[in-house]
A and B are shown apart, each in its own frame.
Chain A
Amino acid sequence: MSAALLIDLILWGSVAAVGFIAFQRGPKVLKASLREGSMDFINIVPRIALGVIGSGYIAAVIPQQIITGWLGPNSGWFGVLAAVVAGAATPGGPVVGFSIGAVALKAGGGPPQVLAYVIAWALFAFQRLLLWEIPFMPARFVWFRAAVSIPFPFLAAAIAMAIGKP
């Protein structure tokens, strides 16, 4: 709870700091930024409402056993590929990917495969791309960024296999 409070303090502190700089540039700049920021907010709230309130249902029906079964210790590069696909298909949000990863580790999943799963989920969970990235950023950038990110879960798994960690 205190960590969340600290993050909120840093966040609003940063807003106040840049807001003050904008204020020093003149009331016109301050007003324009406030208007832009509020319009972004109003525009984004319905999408976030749908995503946050809806992702609980998506998480509830996702077949966790199937995903964890894909990440077995002897699954090799096929397992890594399956992990990357599963990571992309897992709903966004802060918890779901880690929970499934933890279950997979406990159920005897291979660490490089679980690593690839967690990193793929962090980099390009499809639902997060649609829900969080597209509303905030230019669509061309979002798809470009996701496409460029595809090799990196594989690279991470290769590093993990080479060094024998985690």
Chain B
Amino acid sequence: MQASDAAEGEPRPGRIRKPVGWSMITIGVLVAVSATLVWRRDGIGGVLDILTHDVTLFGGILPRVLAGCLLGAFIAEILPHEKVSRSLGPNSGLKGLLIGAAFGAILPGGPFTAYPVASALLTVGADFGATIAMVVSWTLIGYGRAVAWELPIMGTDFTLWRIAISLPLPVLAGALGRFVYVRMYPKDAVE
């Protein structure tokens, strides 16, 4: 315990980051084409309307993105590698998938929290299966999006049934992920 904590005290080396990838170029092209179509259909007014709305949205999201990045970085530094590997690693069994799913369901915030935290979990020893259970659970069962958006738009009946039917999916997705992973990457699984 003490020894592992001391080892965890050493800061991890920084990750290498790609400045502009093909994913950004794809989105950029999509946005440019769509904006041109909007301009031809609705004129410059239509373009500016959407721009104003989205810039406002972006300004509101920014502080949360910062919070998510910090949360992910702190978690990657402070979580003890050994414990995470044991409870969320490749050999954590159904319990690991359930912990991942429960964690995803209670995680506050939006994609700006969920994805950095998922990445941090992978860094400190969670396997693909448990992390898939966490991300899928955050997506399908997490209360944030359901309360803020789905309930008002889709109605209570649909939303509650949608969530009830989704309940088993995170663990199933995690189990399927684990099943496929050990067959796709047999070398990684031997640890």
Contacts and interface: CB of A to CB of B under 8 A. Distances in A.
Interface string B56-86: 0110011111111111111111100000000
A33 B73 CA distance: 5
B43 interface: no
Given A25-B78, A50-B27, A136 B115 contact: yes
Contact of A95 (B14, B111, B153): B153
Nearest to A13: B108
Nearest to A128: B111
B14 A36 contact: yes
Interface string B153-170: 111011011100110010
A132 B108 contact: no
Given A127-B27, A165-B161, A52 B58 contact: yes
Contacts of A12: 67
Nearest to B158: A166
B68 to A, nearest CB: 8
Given A54-B27, A144-B181, A137 B119 contact: yes
A61 B136 CA distance: 29
Instruction: Say what secondary structure dominates the interface of chain B.
Output: helix
Interface stretch (A69-77, A78-86, A153-161): A153-161
Nearest to A19: B74
Contacts of A47: 24, 27
Interface in A1-52: 3-4, 7-8, 10-12, 14-15, 18-19, 21-22, 25-26, 28-29, 31-41, 43-52
B136 A123 contact: yes
A58 B34 CA distance: 5
Classify chain A: how many residues form its interface, as a range: 35 or more
B2 interface: no
Interface string B86-124: 000000000000000000000011111101101100100
A118 interface: yes
Given A37-B74, A53-B55, A115 B128 contact: no
Contacts of A149: 132, 136, 173
Nearest to A152: B169
Given A11-B108, A41-B65, A130 B26 contact: yes
A115 B65 CA distance: 29
B189 interface: no
A12 B135 CA distance: 20
Interface in B134-150: 135-136, 139-140, 144-145, 147-150
Nearest to B113: A11
A45 B74 contact: no
A157 B47 CA distance: 38
A99 B68 CA distance: 26
Contact of A52 (B24, B54, B74): B54
Contacts of B169: 119, 152, 155-156
B141 to A, nearest CB: 10
6 contacts: A29-B11, A34-B70, A49-B58, A57-B37, A60-B34, A148-B132
